[in-house]
Structures are given as structure tokens and as C-alpha cells.
Amino acid sequence: MKPLIGITAEIREGNYFLPPIYSKVVIQAGGIPVLIPQIPDEDIQEMCNQIDALLVTGGEDIDPGYYGQEPHVDLGIITPRLDRMEYLLVQEFLKQDKPYIGICRGLHMLNVVNGGSLYQSIHTEREKEVIQHKQKAPRTHRAHTVKLEKDSRMFELLGEDEFKVNSFHHQACNKVPDSLKIVATAKDGIIEGVESPEHSFVFGFQWHPEEFAWDGDEPSQHLFKSFIDAAVKRKELNR
């Protein structure tokens, strides 16, 4: 049986919003996408029990109260109810050790749940010169270079140690806890990828590999296929 892949949705003007690209790449890789709406706290564990893997997508900024900071003047829109639900979802998913991919905001949430912090606005909080991380180009355009550690599981998945990625963010991981390993960085030092040595399949990406996978990029397609394969293995453990 195909695995069920939970995908969190943004909330815009009171409506759920999910770009179709996320569902497309899950289907392309062999999974069944399931949109996760806002659900009560008491239903979080049951949701995590039912789905076989979790994909936390890009979206708005995370409330800095989750990592002990006051809101910066350049903090963007926050969605408090979504923040809480995703925080509890990721927390429970890590507890159950089920496959997880966090993209952009999903990377940030993974870091925050593990006790890390964020730059609320990289262009005003960092002293170093910062390259353009919010590109003004099509979503499949590869805007800047990322360096990937060769001794990482992410390198095993993607098979490249230096390549260009797309970029659509103004926040980034700042302090990263020991429970996560930094495995990819941009040339200006911005963290582009992390993984968890303590879990079977937990990765966070600052860029958007779903765009490349749907566009035919083989390394990105292999990433999502590996994600689905990991979900199948986890599903079989529950039988």
C-alpha cells in the first residue's frame, strides 16, 4: 500500500492555501498526499499515528516567542494557530521517529522545535554581507550556490557537494542545537540544510527541491523517492 504523506497548509485571509507542487511531487514519488488543516491539540498525536511521513512546507514567519525573542521590526506576517499546530506536529513526529522533510519554513520549525533560534530578518540582523536570498526570478531558477558536506546523509541522497539552488526567504536558522547537524551552507554563511543524526529520516532544506523535482531534476526526484521509501518502511513497522 502507498504511504500517506501529511502536508501542512498555510492560512491566507482565513482560507487554507497549499501550492499544488507539494502534492504533485509526493504523487510523483509514489505517495498519497494528505492536507493537514488546523486541528485541535488533542488530535495531534492521532494524526501523527495515522500518517506515515510529514512534509512541512514554506510559508509565513514563525512567532519569535517560540525561541525566546521579541518581534524584530522587520518580522513578517505570523500565523499563531498554524505555528502552534506545526510545532506540536513536528514535536510528536520526532518522538515517533517517522520520516520528515521541512522546506524553508519547515526547516525553521524543525530548528525551533529542537531548541534552535532564527534570524528574524537576515538582511538587517547579520553584520556580514548577505547575498540575495529572495530571488526575483522564476521558481525553478538556480540563484545562488550551496556547499554540501560530503560526510552527510544529505550528500548521499543528492550526490552533489556544490550546486545552485532557488531561494525565497528573509529568515534563516541562527543557532542550531547539537541534536541537528548543519550540512549545507550558502557562500555568505546562511544555513541551507540540516539533518538529524538521532532519527532515521529527518531533513530540513532552505531551498525548494520540490520545484526542481517536478521540473525533472534527478537528484531532487531521488530525494523525494527516498522520502517515500522511508515512509513505506516505517508503515511496515506498524503492521
The CA distance from 141 to 134, in Å, is 12
Instruction: Exactly one of 86, 92, 195, 210 is catalytic; name it.
Output: 210
Does the annotation count 13 as an active-site position? no
Domain that holds residue 117: 4-237
Q: In terms of Cα–Cα distance, which of 49, 57, 51, 48 is closest to 19? A: 57
Amino acid 125: pLDDT: 81
Instruction: Exactly one of 92, 199, 208, 211 is catalytic; name it.
Output: 208
Which residues of the chain register pLDDT less than 50?
none
Q: In terms of Cα–Cα distance, which of 147, 135, 157, 149 is closest to 185? A: 147
Read off the pTM.
0.96
Amino acid 237: pLDDT: 80
Amino acid 14: pLDDT: 79
Does the annotation count 173 as an active-site position? no
- Residue 27's CB: how many other CB atoms inside 10 A? 14
Query: Which cell goes with 239?
Result: 503492521
The CA distance from 210 to 41, in Å, is 29
Q: 46, 18 in Cβ contact below 8 A?
A: no
Write the CA distances from 165 to 75, 117, 145, integer angstroms: 24, 23, 6
Work out how many domains the chain is built from and give that number: 1
The CA distance from 182 to 201, in Å, is 15
Q: In terms of Cα–Cα distance, which of 154, 167, 130 is closest to 220? A: 154
Instruction: Exactly one of 48, 86, 92, 104 is catalytic; name it.
Output: 104
Does the annotation count 104 as an active-site position? yes
Q: In terms of Cα–Cα distance, which of 34, 38, 95, 85 is closest to 62? A: 85
Amino acid 126: pLDDT: 82
CATH code for the domain in which residue 95 is found = 3.40.50.880
Amino acid 1: pLDDT: 84
Size of the chain, expressed as the number of residues it contains: 239
Q: 165, 142 in Cβ contact below 8 A?
A: yes
Query: Any idea which residue has 531532487 for its cell?
Result: 220
Q: Where are the beta strands (DSSP E) in 83-171?
A: 100-103, 118-119, 144-148, 162-165
Amino acid 46: pLDDT: 96
